[in-house]
Amino acid sequence: MARFILALALAAAAQAGAHRDWAAAPAIVEIDTREDVYAIGDAHADYDRLVKLLVAAKILGKTPATPSEPRWTAGRSVVVFTGDMIDKGPHALKVLELIHRLEIAAPSSGGRVVVLMGNHEAEFLAGTSPAKSKEFRAELASVGWNASKVAACEGDLGRWLCSLAFGARVNGWFFSHAGNTAGRTLPKLSADLEAGVEKDGFRTPELIGDNSLLEARLGKNPWIEKGPGRDAQALLAADAAALGVQHIVEGHQPAKLDFADGVVREAGEMFQRYGLLFLIDTGMSVGVGDSHGAALHIRGDEAVAICPSGQETVIWDRGEHARIGRAAPCK
């Protein structure tokens, strides 16, 4: 039975709707580091594939016997999970426990794990789309947990989910689930997210609106839309500049994507455009099936896609100025 031993046990209850301490749990995490940075897209409750990927990326030293016993081997690196850890696959609780355990273990080696909220987590907490989180709700019920209480931020699992950040700036890279910052600066974006959650909770359009940071689909984004005077590269560069970064990394979008200029990103590919936009959701879950997953490894002046097999593909190099970089879906 999947269960959260110690830190994520639901025995301890919290007051539902408690005010979020934004200093302790900021909307946007900011980190400056000289170490390597990794990003992992949508795991969608596929514990086995996630573990294989983390071992291949040398974030885990070996396959843990249980999710409560991970061995962090990424040293002082920063690892960002870009959300959608639940639903579609069979083992959301094991995925959540593993990620949370890594979050606890990393600092002892000088490393850090940043866990971001995806639209599936936000919509589960908001309670607006029960059908979208039906697998997670069913899994909670199967172990005797009350999904409504978890969604109301009760218990350690609920509190942890409710405290997740919505975005992260690590050096010159900005990470979020769906990427759409609407041209705002980091302070403005953070203030708007805080205000939205304070006013409407996780139902705020800032999180789950059609063009929000966690929900926007790239097909609706001005980076891709056709139209007079549109320049996708310039628009991307402007959004990045407003954030004070050079690169925008997002999950959320595993499927085939047709860009306005005719470029096609195939389903399951880790993909970048102009060195500005990095798409890292490769549809790893058995519930999606586009690939077996890939990790983005940012090391120095290059970004590399790592397959569970250990195969590596450089998708961006600062010196080459490639307009397109892609890694075939990992099988």
**CA geometry: angle 271, 46, 20, nearest 5 deg:** 85
Amino acid at 238: A
Dist. CA 326–CA 313, nearest whole Å: 8
Architecture of domain 27-327: 4-Layer Sandwich (3.60)
Q: Tens place of pLDDT for every residue, the chain, 331 residues?
A: 344 433 443 333 333 344 799 999 999 999 999 999 999 999 999 999 999 999 999 999 989 888 998 999 999 999 999 999 999 999 999 999 999 999 999 999 999 999 999 999 999 999 987 778 899 999 999 999 999 999 999 999 999 999 999 999 999 999 999 999 999 999 999 999 999 999 999 999 999 998 899 999 865 566 665 555 567 788 889 999 999 999 999 999 999 988 877 889 999 999 999 999 999 999 999 999 999 999 999 999 999 999 999 999 999 999 887 789 999 999 9
Dist. CA 170–CA 114, nearest whole Å: 10
Tokens representing 175 are 């990470």
Cα distances (Å, whole numbers) of residue 233 to 132, 257, 288, 295:
33, 16, 30, 24
Dist. CA 2–CA 91, nearest whole Å: 8
